[in-house]
Structure 1
Amino acid sequence: MNISDFMKVHGIQTADELIKRSTEDIGWFWDAAVKHLGIEFFHPYGLVMDEGGGISNTKWFLGGKINIVHNCLDRHDTDSKAFRVALRFETDDGAVEAVTYRELNNKVNELAWSLKQAGVKKGDRIAMCMPISIEAVVIMLATLKLGAVSLQLSCRISPQELTIYLRDASPKILFITDRHQRGGKTFYSNLLCQELTSQNIPIECIVILEKLDSGLALRKGCKSWNNFTADNSGHSAETAPLDSEAPSLILYSSGTTGKSKAVIHTQAGALVQAAKEVGYLFDCSPDDTFFWFTDIGWMMAPWEIIGTLFFGATLVLYEGTPFYPTPHRIFEIIERHRISIFGFVPTALRTLSSSGLDFSEHDLSTLRILGSTGEPLDEKTWEWYSQIFGKNQCPIINFSGGTELLGGLVGSLPIAEQKPGAVGGPGLGMAVDVVNDEGQPVRNQVGYLVCRKPFPSMTRGFLNNFEGFMDTYFSRMGGLWFHGDLAEIDSYGFWFLRGRADDLIVRGGVKYDPAKIEATLISFPGEPKISESAAIASPDNSGGQRIICFVAINNQNFTDDEQIKRYLEELKKHIGITYDPMARPDEIHIIKALPKNLAGKIPRELLRRAYNGGPVGDLSKIENSEVIDDIIRVGKIYFKMPI
């Protein structure tokens, strides 16, 4: 394994010793990792890190000249990897397209040449509002090749939100498609184009990848992809040597805990973090086929694109949903593409595990490593994932971080002992801890996840709002990075995520962990089984909070009122017995499904607003958003408001 080789080179005997050394001497670790992974600089750096600006403004790999595209494409085109498959793309309707490293490099060179002809230069911003696709990868890499900055947005964004983001970022060029498919439905971009052209957004050109004869490219300020790329066949552009600290990506956080934040990443930071995690946590090599279900606007997309292509492996992209046309789809993708490294979100795993379907017909023998991120992975679902996908033979790399660091703060190592539901421990080179309200370390109790030292991929701030960045991460714990997650370290040293700090429910002066309440509901042994659950806070008349839960069950014929009443009381009793007798919910509501964002996460802040009568805002990036109406309705009944 890659991580075993690194340990052997440095005389390290155990995973614990490796974690300890990497987090105590971060300068040594990041320098050693760069050299061991084989990250190539056009000009070597003279200084690993400069902490003169403090944890929030540390500079990395000073004096070095680098480019992500050189490491992920250029160097592979000169060796045997040139003819290996780089990308395999599967559409919603099942069509498959593949490109080799040489073909991908040619596409990137040609688009970079077209961008350069359009006047794009270092530091310019190029935006895309696209589904995940081969074209989206080409746009991202062509942008980075020139030293421009890739701004990546979900194709499901609302016209109004897109306008706000583009005014804020001022990109030179915007790429969009005229339509995309997801879950058997077709979504059109007419309203996006109409909003952009009517609002006079200062963009030099909107490039439209036409899949229909829509006529959108005929609008003022627009060009078709074919028109924009005309005459670029066979052309190429130089891969720009860039300062290590040069900006590379602008990504928007999911906004599940508040307003989306535009975070800025650097060339070296993005590359080093992605290569470290894909290489050491997921043990990627050129022989692997890597697939993580993601959207181009979620940080997992650039993370997997950079990480997988760095190692010369094959990356699978999929534009649809994991449950269309049936929940077997994700298993069919693994079989069809012979995936060896697979990552998913816990909510989707819980949906599959509670479906009652038999997935044993599928050949998953190519899988060797499994991944999970985005939310806490409960013990029951962890065990099901291990058994059904991995036949109890594949390590589960359960890791967690965020858009703000383009990677994980905590994560499992493939060589370390595993415990169901645990995230292992600190990420390599990530000096994290769990502390109480006073910033003191705590064990065997839930605390706040913090980081005590800098790391290369830490965002260089929010776009046009550095003060907001400092206030969000460094104002609460006296100079520590306050991540906003709740975590717990047990007596054996295993780390567990317990949800978000702003999701905590406070009743009677006591804090209750919604993630534990949700896991307890899912573990209910009776019938009907619970496939999904969410716990939120709702204000009571005394200024405190009530515990409100939502559950989706696997029996839609469960409609008898008395039967439902007894069932809900059993659920409350189960929480009181197995979690905390004082955490019995005030209300439990059965709904047909829980809403999810495009990353597959349950947006609890949206649930709170909907139930408590607040504004729900833009729902364009929410799957099954019609469920929000059901939550609003039961909230109005609870608060005795007119429906």
Structure 2
Amino acid sequence: MVEATDDTRAEDLVFDPPAEFAANAVAKGSLYADAAQDRLGFWADQARSLLHWHRPFTQTLDWSEAPFAKWFADGKLNVAYNCLDRHVLAGNGDRVALLWEGEPGDSRRLTYAELTAEVKRAANLLTALGIRQGDRVAIYLPMIPEAIIAMLAVARIGAVHSVVFGGFSAESLRARIDDAEAKLVITADGGYRRGRVSPLKPAVDAALESGDSTVEHVLVVQRAWPDDEELAWTDGRDLWWHEEIAQVDWEHEAQGFDAENPLYILYTSGTTGKPKGILHTSGGYLTHVAYTHRNVFDLHPETDVYWSTADVGWVTGHSYVVYGPLANGATEVIYEGTPDTPRPGRWWEIVQKYGVTILYAAPTAIRSFMKAGREIPQQSDLSSLRLLGSVGEPINPEAWLWYREVIGGNRTPIVDTWWQTETGGIMISPLPGVTAAKPGSAQVPLPGITVEVVDDKGRPLGNDESGLLAIPEPWPGMLRGIWGDPQRFIDTYWSKFPARPTGPVYFAGDGARRDHDGDIWLLGRVDDVMNVSGHRLSTAEIESCLVSHPWVAEAAVVGAHDETTGQAVVAFVIAKARHADEANAEGATNELRAHVASSIGAIARPRELFIVNELPKTRSGKIMRRLLRDAAEGRPLGDTTTLTDATVMQAIADRLKN
């Protein structure tokens, strides 16, 4: 294994695509030239070639009311038809669409013909319950087939879904239901998580207990509820999915809707504390996710078995579990549970069981596997894998190299993807059959996408310079607004930089730099970039440096107020199990602080460094650095309801007080 001690050295490590992979790759280097020659024409070609249009469009982009874009606006299509019916009509009805694995070990297999029939019937059920075009439906389900069926059924009738992650509290659910003014909630009695039943219907009951909600019905999937416990039920409002769906017809004809018909609202955190309802529409979004899924993941739908490990409650689940893969006719794995239930190697057993060829996962998960040790994945046959992907946050070079060596057998390309809930689909990524990959770098914008690294005034920066990530040209998958708050949409995303002759510039909220080759390295959110004695330091860069130390499995770095330097670096580190003794010995924290100083510079040396047993993480695996900043600066802890285990954060706070 080649080791990288920091990002600078990682810039000099490159991995060319295997010759056989490159020869058979879906995406060719000519895509860049095609897009550069006529960007809008390129996107029009993608929309026409990848999708079925009930009424063809004649205008690609209307940017006359920027930043409110309209893509393919005079065209009509049906999102669910594109994901289902057309594959059946093309003779692929017997192809497996979903290979579902429940956490307890139960499984289900749905072909495209079977999935299409289920979605048609669900669409008829929604219509029978009074759901019409434009109505909002909240979906609060575990990772079961009904979650995907529900999303596609809502899309099929032109309604708007708002999927809420099943780990969110009743209070968070209530806020999202109220903001979207949902008429219907689709939930389950419960789901399995870490060997236990996670109650969902009770959370819906609590969210609606005030009685002043717009919700008319709650549709409940029977999944997991103890036989000896009574499930609360409100007659007239609550309905069993299996009972209601048995009463409706199997046939449903999909009609075309305007390309700008709203498809979904997905809530994401905002700086004000109020979640932002990110709005995506149909034609441009589906074009973007189908194009990126096909080319970034080198999808060969006849032979590949694709697995994105994301939950449908997050945007990765929307774009690269539901809409992108199914629009491309992919066969995909869906898993309900956690990576380590009931055994630490559960993911790798699933890869072996289904012959997964493409795996898309988060760096947090990859680092947790590193912490547990390579002997666990090595117990399973992973030889079917031919492509690996990373999503959700910048991946440090050592995790990238471990991923490639241990999971990919030192042969698979890795696509390190950058994008956001707001962008809808992948924006920066290697093309696996074209790009010589660098560990830890998202590298280049995809063909058809324009991305720049700019200074605080919006002026483009050159190579070997750090700045802010900006998108100066509209793209098909872009958000169309914040639900119910157009001014917040403008203020949040389009007011950071001066407008250009081509229109306003989108601010991604992330820092980035270009290396000497011009490749892009993400530095994390701007509020995760510290200013220490006038020097901009990336928390992601320091975290990468710490994880490169042989003792360290995972690290989180925050900036804390310092009277002398403005901000100071505070680090929290989890040690690898086999190095626990060294990491907990006297002087260990000083060695790790010195490692940072020698690798990056004395200015980056952590003022404080703590060896901890665990880091505060949400149920999706994201580290809550905001809470670590609160603790480091001695403030009361903020809301911890989204954490997997709130006691982790309290233990860290108590440690700092002492």
TM-score under structure 1 length normalisation: 0.92
Letter in 2 for 1:460: R
- Paired position in structure 2 for 1:439: 458
- Percent sequence identity is 33
- Deviation of 1:270 after TM superposition, in Å, equals 2.1
Q: After superposition, what is the alpha-carbon deviation per residue over 1:542-576, rounded to whole angstroms, capped at 9, x for unaligned?
A: 58222110000124894799x63411001111111
Say if 2:630 and 2:638, in contact at 8 Å, map to a contact too.
no
> Which secondary structure state, in structure 1, belongs to the residue aligned with residue 40 of structure 2?
helix
Question: Is 1:36 equivalent to 2:55 in the alignment?
Answer: no
Cα distance in 2 between the residues matched to 1:537 and 1:276: 38
Q: Counterparts of 1:247-286 in structure 2 under 5 Å?
A: 247-253=262-268, 259-286=274-301
- Paired position in structure 2 for 1:379: 397
- Paired position in structure 2 for 1:343: 360
Say if 1:158 and 1:192, in contact at 8 Å, map to a contact too.
no
Query: Which shows bigger deviation, 490-499 or 250-259?
Result: 250-259
Match of 2:469 among 426, 449, 452: 449
Q: After superposition, what is the alpha-carbon deviation per residue over 1:269-325, rounded to whole angstroms, capped at 9, x for unaligned?
A: 221111011111112132221111111210011112111111212121111111222
Match of 1:319 among 315, 336, 347: 336
Match of 2:387 among 359, 369, 378: 369
- Paired position in structure 2 for 1:131: 142
Match of 1:540 among 562, 568, 575: 562
> Which secondary structure state, in structure 2, belongs to the residue aligned with residue 47 of structure 1?
coil
Q: Counterparts of 1:234-633 in structure 2 under 5 Å?
A: 234-253=249-268, 259-287=274-302, 288-304=304-320, 305-358=322-375, 359-415=377-433, 416-442=435-461, 443-478=463-498, 479-525=504-550, 529-541=551-563, 544-555=566-577, 558=580, 564-614=585-635, 616-633=637-654
CA spacing shift, 1:94–1:255, aligned 2, 3 Å:
farther
Query: Which shows bigger deviation, 265-274 or 354-363?
Result: 354-363
Q: After superposition, what is the alpha-carbon deviation per residue over 1:485-540, rounded to whole angstroms, capped at 9, x for unaligned?
A: 11121112322111111111122222211111100101114xxx211100001112
CA spacing shift, 1:50–1:276, aligned 2, 3 Å:
same
Cα distance in 2 between the residues matched to 1:290 and 1:7: 15
CA spacing shift, 1:19–1:477, aligned 2, 3 Å:
farther
- Paired position in structure 1 for 2:40: 27
Say if 1:345 and 1:601, in contact at 8 Å, map to a contact too.
no
- Deviation of 1:111 after TM superposition, in Å, equals 0.9
Cα distance in 1 between the residues matched to 2:572 and 2:37: 43
Say if 2:574 and 2:614, in contact at 8 Å, map to a contact too.
yes
- Paired position in structure 2 for 1:641: none
Match of 1:119 among 127, 130, 137: 130
Match of 1:207 among 184, 201, 219: 219
Letter in 1 for 2:360: G
- Paired position in structure 2 for 1:640: none
Cα distance in 1 between the residues matched to 2:86 and 2:326: 11
- Deviation of 1:617 after TM superposition, in Å, equals 4.3
TM-score under structure 2 length normalisation: 0.90
Match of 2:208 among 196, 200, 203: 196
Say if 2:546 and 2:592, in contact at 8 Å, map to a contact too.
yes
- Deviation of 1:164 after TM superposition, in Å, equals 1.3
CA spacing shift, 1:621–1:132, aligned 2, 3 Å:
farther
Cα distance in 1 between the residues matched to 2:198 and 2:210: 21
Gaps of 5+ in 2: 1-19, 499-503
Cα distance in 1 between the residues matched to 2:283 and 2:635: 42
Query: Which shows bigger deviation, 609-618 or 142-151?
Result: 609-618
Letter in 1 for 2:283: A
Say if 2:118 and 2:250, in contact at 8 Å, map to a contact too.
no
Q: CA RMSD in A?
A: 2.3
CA spacing shift, 1:326–1:226, aligned 2, 3 Å:
closer
> Which secondary structure state, in structure 1, belongs to the residue aligned with residue 359 of structure 2?
strand
Cα distance in 1 between the residues matched to 2:26 and 2:412: 21
Cα distance in 1 between the residues matched to 2:579 and 2:390: 32
> Which secondary structure state, in structure 1, belongs to the residue aligned with residue 594 of structure 2?
helix
- Deviation of 1:624 after TM superposition, in Å, equals 3.2
- Deviation of 1:472 after TM superposition, in Å, equals 1.1
Letter in 1 for 2:151: M
Cα distance in 1 between the residues matched to 2:368 and 2:58: 50
Say if 2:289 and 2:426, in contact at 8 Å, map to a contact too.
no
- Deviation of 1:148 after TM superposition, in Å, equals 0.5
Q: After superposition, what is the alpha-carbon deviation per residue over 1:48-69, rounded to whole angstroms, capped at 9, x for unaligned?
A: 1112123x12211131111111
> Which secondary structure state, in structure 2, belongs to the residue aligned with residue 223 of structure 1?
strand
Aligned residues: 624
CA spacing shift, 1:257–1:531, aligned 2, 3 Å:
farther
Query: Which shows bigger deviation, 481-490 or 247-256?
Result: 247-256
CA spacing shift, 1:428–1:348, aligned 2, 3 Å:
same
CA spacing shift, 1:163–1:101, aligned 2, 3 Å:
same
- Paired position in structure 1 for 2:11: none
Letter in 2 for 1:420: P
Cα distance in 2 between the residues matched to 1:407 and 1:3: 23
Letter in 2 for 1:431: T
Question: Is 1:51 equivalent to 2:63 in the alignment?
Answer: yes
Cα distance in 1 between the residues matched to 2:623 and 2:633: 17
- Deviation of 1:614 after TM superposition, in Å, equals 4.0
Cα distance in 2 between the residues matched to 1:477 and 1:315: 41
CA spacing shift, 1:354–1:471, aligned 2, 3 Å:
same
Letter in 2 for 1:350: R
- Deviation of 1:90 after TM superposition, in Å, equals 0.9
> Which secondary structure state, in structure 1, belongs to the residue aligned with residue 280 of structure 2?
strand
